[in-house]
């Protein structure tokens, strides 16, 4: 029996439309099934993919196929009812309706709408995504996050699917998926394995490998009121070379929990998640990220400082040559688009030639953060 359509439906993101010998064919990737469409049905599916409301689709059927209003409405309701019964459509829901919740985020030049179900699963993601969350935007990439078998699935554009077995693994995997998708669509120069904060209108860039202390320093500086550009990845725009933020909530590993325990006593109460590399992490509470910079912002880099955390090390900010700094920076660099060529390196050489470069050696967090803040004085 056909289902009566009372709310706006939309195609499931893992179903694709193909044309073969002037016929339309739907492919359901999850079930590996094909569904043949006649011309009218193919037209309706295309309209749904474009986000057209039902009344406009009905008017289009009248104008395109010469149907009367009653015949167009009957065709539309019948076809949509069949598709709903087959599970090819999902019903649009409000941000907090029923057993689903929508989260809208902006990362670099890409907007995402995360359709999360059941709704309570979204609570695992809000702490991570809070600095990126925006009101509804047009042309957003739809991502569905839902239980799948004994675990969870993240269904992305292009039928790509990532899965994890445990709920505590979901938030870190969502972060990876969003960042990778945004970086793939970016036309910027490169991404850097680096933290960054805004200091005096410029970016204080903190590049370095995992364990160097980037996120911990970024957390300390953010708690002092410096706007956060990112704790793990910073993007460099093409021309001019400017820093662009990826300001997820700060990801803190157990070593940082100890260093920050006096400033963040509530951190021990935050949920613990497991990254794909097996490391346990917590995300800095959203109330501590109120100073995060909007993801569409860009700013010049004022200083490049390579953190070097070591037990019992005195706090020292040691100048290093720009040649050494560039060599280290390239080790933390991932080109976007084409490989890093001679022209790109020449652009980076010209860019870094005007930037003071340092290594920060430290063990105690407070004096290290204070030393960095004084760079702007």
pLDDT digits (tens, 9 = 90+) for 22-65: 778 998 776 678 888 999 999 999 888 877 878 888 889 999 99
**pLDDT exceeds cutoff 90 at 306:** yes
Q: What is the average pLDDT value for the chain, to the nearest integer?
A: 86
Cα separations in angstroms, 119 against 18, 62, 266, 293: 32, 38, 25, 28
Confidence of residue 87 (pLDDT cuts 50, 70, 90): confident
pLDDT digits (tens, 9 = 90+) for 308-339: 988 888 999 999 999 999 999 999 999 887 76
pLDDT above 70 covers a percentage of the chain that reads: 92
Q: Please give the structure tokens belonging to residue 193.
A: 């394995």
| Res 7: pLDDT | 52
Mean local confidence (pLDDT), 225-230: 91
| Res 287: pLDDT | 52
| Res 146: pLDDT | 92
Q: Please give the structure tokens belonging to residue 155.
A: 């269904």
Of the listed ranges 18-32, 119-133, 268-282, 355-369, the one predicted with least confidence:
18-32
Mean local confidence (pLDDT), 211-234: 91
Give the span between the Cα atoms of 249 and 172, in whole angstroms.
11
Q: Do residues 173 and 181 touch, judged by C-beta distance below 8 A?
A: no
Q: What is the pTM of this model?
A: 0.72
Of the listed ranges 51-60, 95-104, 202-211, the one predicted with least confidence:
95-104
Mean local confidence (pLDDT), 108-132: 89
- Sequence spans of domains, the chain: 9-91, 101-185, 190-376
Greater model confidence, 256 or 92: 256
CB contact burial 311-349 (16+ within 10 A = b; e otherwise): eeeebebeebebeebbebbeebbeebeeebeeebeebbe
**pLDDT exceeds cutoff 80 at 70:** yes
Cβ within 8 Å of residue 376, ≥6 positions away: 199, 200, 202, 302
| Res 6: pLDDT | 42
| CA dihedral for 368, 370, 373, 376, sign (positive or negative) | negative
Give the span between the Cα atoms of 214 and 225, in whole angstroms.
17
Domain 190-376: give its CATH architecture.
Answer: 3-Layer(aba) Sandwich (3.40)
Mean local confidence (pLDDT), 212-226: 91
| Res 5: pLDDT | 43
pLDDT digits (tens, 9 = 90+) for 148-185: 888 999 998 888 899 999 999 999 999 999 999 999 99
Helix%, strand%, coil% for the chain, nearest 5: 35, 30, 35
- Looking at CATH, the fold of the domain delimited by 9-91 is given as Arc Repressor Mutant, subunit A (1.10.10)
| Res 183: pLDDT | 93
Helices assigned H by DSSP within the chain? 39-49, 54-65, 69-86, 123-129, 170-185, 214-223, 254-260, 322-331, 342-352, 365-373
Q: Do residues 105 and 136 touch, judged by C-beta distance below 8 A?
A: no
């Amino acid at each position: 029996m056909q289902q009566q359509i009372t709310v706006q439906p939309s195609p499931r993101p893992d179903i694709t439309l193909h044309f073969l010998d002037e016929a339309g064919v739907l492919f359901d990737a999850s079930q590996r099934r094909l569904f043949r469409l006649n011309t009218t049905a193919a037209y309706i599916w295309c309209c749904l993919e474009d986000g057209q409301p039902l009344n406009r689709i009905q008017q289009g059927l009248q104008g395109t196929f010469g149907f009367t209003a009653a015949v167009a409405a009957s065709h539309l309701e019948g076809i949509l009812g069949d598709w709903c019964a087959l599970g090819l459509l999902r019903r649009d829901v409000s941000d907090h309706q029923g057993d689903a919740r929508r989260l809208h985020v902006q990362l670099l030049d890409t907007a995402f709408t995360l359709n999360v179900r059941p709704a309570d699963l979204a609570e695992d993601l809000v702490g991570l995504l809070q600095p990126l969350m925006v009101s509804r935007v047009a042309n957003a990439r739809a991502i569905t996050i839902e239980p799948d078998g004994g675990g969870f699935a993240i269904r992305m554009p292009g039928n790509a699917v990532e899965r994890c077995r445990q709920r505590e693994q979901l938030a870190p995997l969502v972060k990876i998926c969003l960042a990778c998708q945004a970086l793939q669509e970016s036309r910027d120069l490169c991404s850097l394995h680096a933290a960054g904060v805004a200091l005096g209108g410029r970016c204080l860039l903190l590049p370095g490998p995992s364990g160097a202390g980037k996120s911990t320093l970024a957390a300390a500086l953010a708690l002092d009121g410096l706007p956060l550009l990112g704790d793990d990845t910073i993007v460099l725009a093409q021309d001019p070379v400017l820093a662009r933020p990826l300001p997820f909530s700060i990801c803190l590993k157990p070593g940082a929990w100890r260093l920050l325990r006096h400033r963040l006593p509530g951190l021990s109460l935050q949920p613990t998640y497991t990254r794909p590399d097996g490391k346990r992490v917590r995300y800095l509470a959203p109330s501590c990220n109120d100073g995060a910079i909007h993801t569409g912002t860009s700013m010049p880099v004022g200083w490049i400082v390579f953190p070097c955390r070591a037990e019992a090390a005195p706090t020292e900010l040691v100048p290093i040559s720009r040649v050494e700094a560039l060599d280290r920076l390239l080790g933390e660099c991932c080109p976007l688009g084409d490989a890093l060529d001679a022209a790109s390196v020449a652009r980076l050489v010209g860019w870094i030639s005007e930037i003071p470069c340092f290594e920060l050696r430290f063990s105690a967090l407070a004096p290290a953060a204070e030393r960095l803040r004084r760079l702007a004085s």
